[in-house]
Every structure is written in C-alpha cells, then in structure tokens.
Structure 1
Amino acid sequence: MDRRELLNVEGLTLTVARTGLDVVRTIGFSVAPGEIVGIVGESGSGKTLAARAVMGLEPPAIRRSAGSIRFEGREVTTMAPGELRQLRGARVGMVFQEPMTSLNPSMLVGRQLDEGLALHTKLAAGERRARALDMLARVGIKDPEGALSSYPHQFSGGMRQRIMLASAMLLQPALLIADEPTTALDAVVQRDVLELMVELTRAHGTAVLMISHDLAMVARYTDRIIVMCKGEVVEEGTTQDLLRQPRHAYTQKLLAAMPRRLLTREVPPAPAPAVEVRDLVVDYAGRQGFMRRQAGKRALHGIDLAIRPREVVALVGGSGSGKTTLGRAIAGLVRPSGGEIRFAGRPVVAGGEGWRDYRLNCQMVFQDPYSSLDPRMTIGALVREPLRLMPGMSGRDKAERVVEVLREVGLSEDYADRYPHELSGGQRQRVAIARAVVRRPSFVIADEPVSALDVTVRAQILDLFAELQHKHGFSCLFISHDLGVVEQVADRVVVMQDGRIVEEGTRDAIFDRPQHAYTRELLSAIPMLESTPGGGVRLRWRLDETSEETAGETGRDTSAAAVALR
C-alpha cells in the first residue's frame, strides 16, 4: 500500500447471496489523507454499497465475494467484530442521507452525542458534555444547551443534518463518508452544511468520501471524482480534468442530463386566472405542554397569488418559508385561517358550492411517492382510483384510460399488476404523475417531485412532466428548492421567505435580475455547471461575474481546499 493512501480498495466485488448477482464488480479506488473524493452515478450504480463496505456495513443480503479493503494499512475484510466496532465512529465516521432515520427518535440529542465519546474515549462525563456543546456551537446550533435536552424531531432537516455532522466529527475520524448529505435541503442550507463539513474536515485533516448525484455540488467541493455505472467504476480523475473533458460516454450522459434553461414559452392570455388566492392566512396552533400551551405560529401571512391557465409557476424558498403549506392550503389539505381561494374566477369554500368541482380539478404530486402510494394496491388500482367519481365513464372506459395514461408516463400496461415496492424511485414518480393527470385536471400542484431522484431519472421526469403539461394544458404550481430544475420548467417564479412572498416575476427576470436580497442569496448559494464547446462543463456561481471556471481556464483552484465560507 502507498504510504500516502488512507484507504485503498482493490478488486471489490459485492454479491447478492441468494441469487449470486454481482451488484458491485471488481472496483478499485483510493483516498489520501485530507483528500475529498466524490463518487457519482445513477441510483443502483453501487455507490452507497461500496462506501458502506468500507465500514463493514453491507446489508445482510449482500456478501463480499472478492477484493480487498485496506484502511490505514489494515485489512478491513478480515477484522473481528470487536475491531470493526473500534473502527466505526472512531476512525471512520458516516453522515447518512436522511438524519431523521439515522438519529434515534426516542433518545435525547445529548445522549446520542455522548454515546460515541463514552465508547471510544476515556473522557469524564463533564468533559464529554463540554466537547459536545463545543461541537454543536461549531456546527451552528444556536442553543447548544437546549439542543442536548431535545429530541431529533424538534429540529428542521437542516438542523438535524448539522447534528448528524457534529456526531460524526466529535471523534475526529480520519475518514468521513457522506452519503447524499444534502438531498432534502434547500439551497442556502445545502451550502452552509457542505462548507461547514469542509471547514471541520480541513481543520482535523479528515478525508471525505462524498456520495452524491448532485454534480454541481461534487464539482465544487471535491478534489477527485469516481464515476460508477451498474456496479463498475467507468471513469476516474481529478475534478477539473474530468469535468473539462469527460472521456466515458456514461459520464457525458450524466453531464448532459443537468437541468438547463429552455426558451421562454408563450402563455396565452386568459380572462381570469385558473387558480387565485387572496390574502391567504394559515395559523398553526401551539402544542399543549405539561403546564401550558406553547405559542402558535403563523405559517402564511396574507398571500396573494394568481396562476393563469396553462402557466407553470414555480414556488421557491428556504425550509420553513411556507412553500408546502401554501401548496397544501390551495389543494384543500390544510384549512386556511383567513383569505379566499378562487377557481375559474369564482370563490370556493371547503364544503360549499363549487368545492367538489375544484377538488376534482386540482390534483397533487407529492414529494415522496413511496409514502403517498398505498403499498397494498396495484399500480392499476392506484391510477384508476381518481376515476371513481368521474361521471359518464364505464368500467371499460376507465380501464382504457388507465392503460392510456400509463403509456403516457412511459410505463407499459404490464405495470398495472405490480405493486409500488416492485418499482424504482423514478417509476414510482411516474405512477404518482399518472394518478395526478388521469382525470385530465385543469390544475396540478407538484411538491418537490424530483428532489430524491438521480440526475438522469430527474431529466426524464422533467421532460415527461413538460410533455404532459403541453399536451393536456393544465396549470401548475411547481414547488421546489432545486433552482436548476426551476430554471428549466418555470414560466414565472415566486420567492417566499418566512410565510411571505418577497419577490415574483418571469423566470428570466428572477434569475437574471433579482431585486430582493433573499432572492440573491438563494441564487448565489449553489454553484451551477455550464456546458463548454468541447463537450465538458465548467463551474460557476450564479450572479457572480468573476465565477470560478475550471482551473485550467482561470488559474484558480476549484478544489475544496479553496473554499472560503461565504
């Protein structure tokens, strides 16, 4: 082993024990001390399995059938269970994709942070507490003392990810594995968490193995990139060289699937908005505590919004800005505290005249189709369900409509007899879209419909959504924190902050000439990749005239070592 290598993987093959199918085949890579290496690829490419194998955390159904994993000169594959327990956490830390499922919901945050320190150090209880408080402060938790006595569910997604990072970094590991660490976070929180992670790892000399499908993020924060496809490493190189001149067709395919701004669409004028809200207010009641009720919260402060027929309006903003609350209130899933909703020029009230017609014409695509699709129903039954109240349709007509809409979303009629767990994430999202459009509604609300999808599947879903919207002419409220996706799909953009609309305008006006400080902060938070004439891409920051390009073009370092906290 090269003395400069912290981790060396050679010829690793992982096999499904029951079937003998190789899901990772003879891959090899290395990580040097202090280096940040990105692993990219589509869902199912083997990224996470390969990374988990470094810690001996393969699922029970997966076995290592060949290969070597050496960490700090020691063979991981032959370690005894006790040795692996000493390795995990102390020398190799991990930040999982969804902190809510990796943090114990029944344990206080303080106890969870103390667990690793008690197991791997000889510090006294007071010293462990002091170290935990210091780390929570470093990761940006405003009230570290209060956080220790709180539960994970009492924090936002961004705060939970910071706590997960604090837990991993408390023991100052030599290697940090970050598995999709910012998938469900908004643009500003993504930037803050990633730059915090880079700052902490640089301070301790920690190497990072970053797994992600966000190519712009990987381009910004890594020194090298490993590209995986169907369980194999197909390309590897320095971040600058690989982006500037990708050699493998699969790498080129990934880069080509990045969202891009399309030509401006002409939305025909209409006498009245398809859907309109006036002075909409939503209040959430405070929780009942042991002695007294906590204060309530106003989630929406008098929102005015109009969506024209055939128009796609994107709703953007940070976590907690009220985006999803507004979408759910318009869909009738949250009862407003004040204001009114108007459909086709007429006010509609829950349970009143016109409400049934509005609800049948207003459909929703949820963020996570796996939790919104009934696992006990077949795909055919799920897609057919919205047709139950469709007047004038016979059973045969409904069956034909189901087959028709499945084909429209790119699924054959054979899928009608399958269940949601038998489909991939992209296929489940296609089913969710099919359910939304099967009634031919005039208005669709799409709440983060592609946030959990990899780059190529995301591109397919966005193309499908645009095709269906053009074919059927429905209006759409598209809720997303992914500004690249918004730039591709939106006709108009509405920016929300703290339950208020702070700016709205055409897509080009918002992205090219933002007026509000918060809009500028959102747009400048996440880097973007621009195509170059040679078939590669270059990195740049939005709204920055002196944006970073590839180091060969500007002479500037785009690696993580060059990151300055903004």
Structure 2
Amino acid sequence: MTTTAPLLDVAHLTLTIGTAGRRVVDDVSFQVFPGEIVGIVGESGSGKTLAARAVMGFVPPAVRLAGGSIRFEGRDVMAMSGKELRAMRGAKVGMVFQEPMTSLNPSMLIGRQLDEGLALHRGLDAPARRALILDMLERVGIRDPEGALDAYPHQFSGGMRQRIMLASVMLLKPALLLADEPTTALDAVVQRDVMELMVELTQANDTAVLLISHDLGMVARYCSRIVVMCRGEVVEQGTAEDILARPRHPYTRKLLAAMPQRLPARFLPQGETPIVAVRDLVVDYPGRQGFFRRSAPKRALHGISIAVQPGEVVAVVGGSGSGKTTLGQSIAGLVKPAGGEILFNGKPIAKSDTAYWDYRLNCQMVFQDPYSSLDPRMTIRQLVGEPLRLVEDMDASARQARIAEVLAEVGLSDGFAERFPHELSGGQRQRVAIARAIVRRPSFVIADEPVSALDVTVRAQVLALFDELQKKHGFSCLFISHDLGVVEQVADRVVVMQDGRIVEEGPRDAIFDAPRHPYTRKLLSAVPGLEATGDGGVRLFWRLGEGEATAPA
C-alpha cells in the first residue's frame, strides 16, 4: 500500500428495494487502498455485484440508498451530481463486466468504441488517440491492431472480446478498476492470460482492483484481501491467507468445502461394447458469404475417434475453439458431419436406418445455458414431460407419475411443477434441464458445460446430483467442460482437444498427474486449485506448479 488513506471507503452501505424496503445490501463496509487487489466472493444473490456497481452509481432505479456512504478519493459518491459522476466514470473508476458481448456495442466498430472514452475524458486530437489505441491493443495481445479498429465485436472470440474490453477501460488509466466476473466464461489458458494481463496493466498504472468472483482459486491467486458476502451482508473479511487457511464464519467454510475435489477412481468393466463410438469424425462449417464469393469452409473436427463405455464418464477438455462442443453436438445429431461414422451399441447409425430412432431417443443433451434451452412459455411439468410423448404404451397417469418421480430425483418439490423457467434460479433451471434429459431413462447423456455459469455451492449441489443420478440409472456421459477442477471430480477418463484434434487421452489420474502432451501441461499449469487442509481451510496449489511443480499428495 502506498498510503494509509483508502482510495475507496465503503462504510455501512445499505441498499433497499421495493416499497417494503427489503435490504439487498445490508450494512456493508470495506476499503480498497491504492495499488491493492481486493476480492469480493459469495453466492449469486449475495449482493456483491450490487455493492460494486453502487461505487459508480450504477444501481437500478428501484434500488434506494437507505444508509451508509461510499467515498472515493475522499469524496462522497452518493452526493455527486450527474455531471460529476460522468466525469468519474471511466476516467477515475473503470469497470470490466462479466460478458463483454453485452457491454460492447455490437453495431459499432471496435475503433470507435475505444475512441469514445479518450475523446470524452482526455481531450486529445484524433491522431494521438489513434496512436494510444493501437499501442494498447498491441499490449493486450490483439494480433492485428489496425485491422481490429475496423472490426465488430462478434468477429472476435470471447477471450479477445474481454481483452478489448480491458483495453477500453485501461486506456483511461483509472485509479480503481471494478472487475465483475471477468473470466467466468473463459477456458483455463485464456482465463490466466486475461488475469495476468489485467494485473500487469493495473500494476503499471498503480491501479487498485475490486475483483468480484465466485472462482475462489483465482481470488486466492491474485487478491491480497478477501471480503466474503452472504445475503447482502459481509460475514468475514481479512487477508487472503487468513481467510483461506483459517476461515472463521460457517458460510466461508461452506464456500471452501464446496470446491471440487478428486474422488477415488472407479472400477469399470473392460472389454464391453461401447455405448457410443465415433470413428474418424470430420465436421466442416461453411465459409462466410461475401458480396461476390463465399470464403473457404472451416474444418472444426479433423478425424476424431472416441469411444464411451457403459456407465463411463468421459470428460472432454480444451480451449475455446478446440471443437469439444462441436463434437458433442455432432454425436447428438445437431451438427451434420462431413465424414466419419457414429456407432450406437456397436452398430453404425444413419437417418435411413431403424437404429437411428433408437439412438436419438437414448442420446440426450444438457446444455450450458438452461434458460435458453427451456421454452419460456412452458411450465416445468410440460418441459420435463415433453420427451415422454415419444414413449409408447405410457398413459397420462404414468407420465405424470414419471414427471413427479424425476422432479423428486433432482431435488424439486411438486410446487415447482407449475412454475415457468423465469421463476427459478440458475441452479434450479439446471436441475430442470437434467430432469428433462433423464426422464426417458437414456443410456447416454451429453453434458455441455453444465455448471460453468453456477456459483460454487450450487455447482457442488448440481455435481453431487449428477453423480447420484449417474450411479442410480447407469447412463454413460460425455462431459464437456473447461473447468479442470470439475473434470478432476467427475471424470473416469479425460480427452484433451486442441484445434479440432485429440492430442491426449487416458484415465483421469494419468492425465492430471503425468500429462505427456505440451498442450495438456499448459492447460493444467494455467489455473491453480484449492486443496482441503483438514481443519476447514484450504491451501493454494498448482497441478503442475506455477512452472512445473508436482501435484499435491
């Protein structure tokens, strides 16, 4: 810390909502000093994002300040006029949002969006602004800065969009950066790159960071202090070392206990016919149509071969664009392959074959975002019961009994049956998506990033539920994920993909403890893990070290 005076001082902040004055942020106090990185952690709905947005005056109109104060550089933010707030936002306090696609204007060129803040706050001429923008784009790792100026956000990957968002904020050299879940949707390598870039840029400008995240491993890696929030209140705060090693509050211990842990390897029978096998699968995406010609097609999968045994959970990991989701969608029949074949119970399937119908009924998929995959006009009962319409010899009473049985299996009471998806939390919607996938008792389930958008405790609940259902019903699973901690917990076997090819595969323990391929080693060394110490705390470790150290015993 460069001074004893805090850069940001939030004291007894209380925010209410609605006419009843329900407290969504209750008596919250914390400080951030210049050059410091402070993490705020907690479950969804804990109030951490709302408290951070209040620093910039970004609270929704229905939210009212009921008490407390927010002081930035000694000035009361709540007493600032609209003009003063606009002068502070961007120039003094910047914010990186969770999803850059929603914070970058899709109809504006990248160059124009980056130029806006400089033109508003710095008063530089156009050539000077352009030079600063090109330099910053180069610093954040954009390969073609000149070309990026004339591109739109949708032409970049998620990691590149987050780099551009970070560039737009850091161009103004703010004193405080608010980072709200900046790496949630990114794979392990890109996540590390974005965080290292953010730390590098903030250190160069002595910028303080308030990092809001449910990724405890990342918070432990980068933050000097941690603030733990639960239901709008701060239940514990202190140095990262003390909070992780010696948590005092039961809620903090609950969060730490919810971190994925490696379970003992299961014994599975060998030599049986695979439930699903893929041989030399090739998928091509058509090129983009221009004014006069179409660009060349892009090959997403290059001759992939994989087999899933009865009752086995095979995890597919890899960076964004590696082809893992395309592989899952191809097996599910949602993407048409350009070559190769898919076998179900040892028999090739084709749409003209009677085996294809049996395969499609026995292959179900759980998508990454349940809200977009559940029809908002249908009740939970209708959504879960829809697949049963294709079950022969099942009357209405039998269907209702099966729906009630499956909802109970996923931990939802009868009271949820008549609700709509928007009336459920993210974790509850994911439970509905799982119920919908297993209601026909399929033999094969594809789970595409099923817990990536969930906080730590809900993620632990969904993973425990998934494990229980998999053991009870015995379905095989292709589990697609970029979260290595989750994979380490659920997988029997791991397949590593890069650029549409399988670069390594093998038993989970062999992949995590003795990876052979350089890309696998790069993935495993990108993000730290948290290991339970046995006394309620955890310690930070690197699966291959922050270099090449060994995995924990």
- TM-score when scaled to structure 1? 0.95
* C-alpha separation in 2, matches of 1:201 and 1:459: 33
The whole-number CA distance in structure 1 between the counterparts of 2:135 and 2:27 is: 42
Q: Distance in 2 between matches of 1:253 and 1:146?
A: 48
In the other structure, the counterpart of 1:236 is 237
Separation of aligned partners in 2, 1:214 and 1:481? 13
How far the C-alpha of 1:267 sits from its partner, in A, is: 1.4
Distance in 2, matches of 1:22 and 1:233, equals: 13
Residue equivalent to 1:213: 214
Aligned to 1:362: 363
Question: d(CA) in 2 for partners of 1:547 and 1:20?
Answer: 53
Task: Report the secondary structure of 2:446's partner residue.
Answer: strand
Are 2:391 and 1:390 aligned?
yes
**Bigger shift: residues 418-427 or 344-353:** 344-353
Quote the residue 1:560 is aligned against: none
Residues 544-555 of structure 1 aligned to structure 2 (within 5 Å): 544=545
Are 2:95 and 2:178, in contact at CA under 8 Å, matched by a contact in 1? yes
Match of 1:251 in 2: 252
1:279–1:339 Cα contact (<8 Å) kept? yes
Distance (Å, rounded) in 1 between the aligned partners of 2:501 and 2:549: 33
Once superposed, which parts of structure 1, at least 4 consecutive aligned residues long, lie more than 6 Å away? Answer: 545-549
* Residue matched to 1:295: 296
Q: What secondary structure, in the 3-state scheme, does the structure 2 residue paired with 1:213 have? A: coil
1:18-77 CA-to-partner distances (Å, cap 9, x unmatched) read 331101101000000000000000110001000000000001221111110000011000
Q: CA–CA distance in 2 between the matches of 1:270 and 1:408?
A: 31
C-alpha deviation, 1:487, in angstroms: 0.3
Pairwise CA distance, 1:547: 8.2
8 Å Cα contact 2:261/2:488 also seen in 1: yes
Counterpart CA distance in 2 for 1:96 and 1:389 is 43
Structure 2: distance between partners of 1:159 and 1:350: 39
Tell me what 1:87 maps to.
88
For 1:545 and 1:87, how far apart are their aligned partners in 2?
A: 37
Distance 1:408 1:317, change over 3 A: same
Identity between Structure 1 and Structure 2 (%): 73
Which piece of structure 1 moves more, 431-440 or 346-355?
346-355
Helix, strand or coil: the match of 2:15? strand
Separation of aligned partners in 2, 1:233 and 1:100: 31
Match in the other structure for 2:307: 306
Contact 1:270–1:309 (CA<8 Å) still a contact in 2? no
Q: Secondary structure of the equivalent of 2:525? A: helix
Q: Give the secondary-structure state (helix, strand or coil) at the position aligned to 1:388.
A: helix
In the aligned structure 2, how far is the partner of 1:505 from the partner of 1:532? 28
Q: CA–CA distance in 1 between the matches of 2:390 and 2:532?
A: 48
Distance 2:474 2:431 in 1: 18
Kept after mapping to 1: 8 A contact 2:275/2:310: yes
Say if 1:310 and 1:473, in contact at 8 Å, map to a contact too. Answer: yes
Q: In structure 1, how many angstroms separate the alpha carbons of the residues matched to 2:181 and 2:543?
A: 23
Say whether 1:537 aligns with 2:538: yes
Whether contact under 8 Å (1:540, 1:547) holds in the other structure is no
Instruction: For residue 291 of structure 1, report the CA deviation from its aligned partner.
Output: 3.0
Say whether the 8 Å CA contact 1:314–1:494 is kept in structure 2: yes
Matched, 1:148 2:149: yes
Deviation at 1:546, TM superposition (A): 8.2
Distance 2:356 2:363 in 1: 10
> 8 Å contact 2:87–2:121 — kept in the other structure?
yes
Q: Please, which moves more after superposition, 302-311 or 529-538? A: 529-538
Q: 1:130 to 1:540 in 2, by over 3 A?
A: same
The aligned amino acid for 1:344 is N
Deviation of the 1:537 alpha carbon: 1.2
Answer yes or no: is the 8 Å Cα contact 2:525–2:547 preserved in 1: no
Moved more, 416-425 or 18-27: 18-27
Q: CA deviation at 1:129?
A: 1.0
The amino acid that maps onto 2:300 is: A
Indicate yes or no: 2:116 matched with 1:115.
yes
Post-superposition shift, 1:538? 1.1
Give yes or no for contact 1:37–1:225 (8 Å, CA) kept in 2.
yes
Q: Distance in 1 between matches of 2:365 and 2:217?
A: 29
Shift of 1:113: 0.4
Q: Which residue is equivalent to 1:464? A: 465
- For residues 504 and 254 of structure 1, do their structure 2 counterparts lie closer, same or farther at Cα, with a shift above 3 Å needed? same
Q: For each residue in 1:463-489, what CA deviation from the matched residue of structure 2 results, as whole angstroms up to 9, or x when unmatched?
A: 000000000000000000000000000
C-alpha distance after superposition, 1:252-304 (max 9, x if no partner): 11111000000111112353100000000000110111232222110000000
Give 1:540 deviation, angstroms: 1.4
Residues 366, 447 of structure 1: 8 Å contact kept = yes
Tell whether the 8 Å contact from 1:540 to 1:548 is kept in structure 2 after alignment.
Answer: no
Q: Is 2:306 the counterpart of 1:280?
A: no
Deviation track 1:315-344 (CA, whole Å, cap 9, x = no partner) reads 000000000000000000000000000001
2:480 matched to which residue of 1?
A: 479
Letter in 2 for 1:480: S
Whether the 8 Å CA contact 1:332–1:350 is kept in 2: the answer is: no
**C-alpha separation between the residues in 2 aligned to 1:273 and 1:34?**
55
Which residue does 1:331 correspond to in 2? 332
For residues 179 and 531 of structure 2, the distance between their equivalents in structure 1, rounded to whole angstroms, comes to: 25
- Report the TM-score when normalising by structure 2: 0.98
Count, aligned residues: 548
**What corresponds to 1:559 in structure 2?**
none
CA RMSD of aligned residues (A): 1.3
> More deviation in 239-248 or 90-99?
239-248
Deviation at 1:352, TM superposition (A): 3.1
* 1: CA distance, partners of 2:69 / 2:479: 47
Q: Distance in 2 between matches of 1:364 and 1:520?
A: 29
Separation (CA, whole Å) in 2 of partners of 1:382 and 1:90: 48
Q: Secondary structure at the match of 2:217?
A: helix
Residue type matched to 1:9 in 2?
V
Q: Does 1:447 align with 2:462?
A: no
Matches within 5 A, 1:155-166: 155-166=156-167
| Alignment check: 8 A CA contact 1:226 1:233 kept | yes
2:272 counterpart residue number: 271
Kindly indicate whether the alpha-carbon contact (under 8 Å) linking 1:311 and 1:475 is maintained by their aligned counterparts in 2. yes
Q: For 1:271 and 1:542, how far apart are their aligned partners in 2? A: 33
CA-CA distance at 1:548 after TM superposition: 9.2
- Aligned residue in 2 for 1:200: 201
C-alpha change, 1:180 and 1:132, in structure 2 (3 Å) is: same
Aligned partner of 2:5 in structure 1 is 4
Measure the CA separation in 2 of the matches of 1:538 and 1:150.
Answer: 43
Instruction: Give the distance between the partners of 2:60 and 2:197, measured in 1 at CA.
Output: 30
Which structure 2 residues correspond to residues 411-422 of structure 1 after superposition, within 5 A?
A: 411-422=412-423
- Structure 1 CA distance, aligned partners of 2:37 and 2:163? 19
Pair 1:431-2:399 in alignment:
no
Aligned-partner residue type, residue 408 of structure 2: R
Q: Distance in 2 between matches of 1:283 and 1:277?
A: 16
Instruction: Provide the C-alpha distance between the structure 2 equivalents of 1:57 and 1:350, rounded to a whole number of angstroms.
Output: 53
The Cα offsets for residues 330-386 of structure 1, whole Å up to 9 and x where unpaired, read as 000000000000001100013433111111100000000011111111111000011
Contact 1:299–1:322, Cα closer than 8 Å, also in 2? yes
Counterpart-to-counterpart distance in 2, 1:548 and 1:419 = 49
Pair 101,137 (structure 1): closer, same or farther in 2 beyond 3 Å? same
- Note the 1:347-358 alignment, pairs <5 A: 347-358=348-359
Secondary structure of 1:117 counterpart: helix
Q: Where do 5+ consecutive residues of structure 2 fail to align?
A: none
Q: Distance in 1 between matches of 2:64 and 2:357?
A: 54
2-side partners of 1:16 and 1:58: how far apart?
11
Gap runs ≥5 in structure 1: 550-566
Give the letter aligned to residue 108 of structure 2: M
SS in structure 2 of the partner of residue 202 of structure 1: helix
The alpha-carbon distance between structure 1 residues 546 and 90, as it changes in their structure 2 partners (threshold 3 A), is closer
The whole-number CA distance in structure 2 between the counterparts of 1:262 and 1:503 is 22
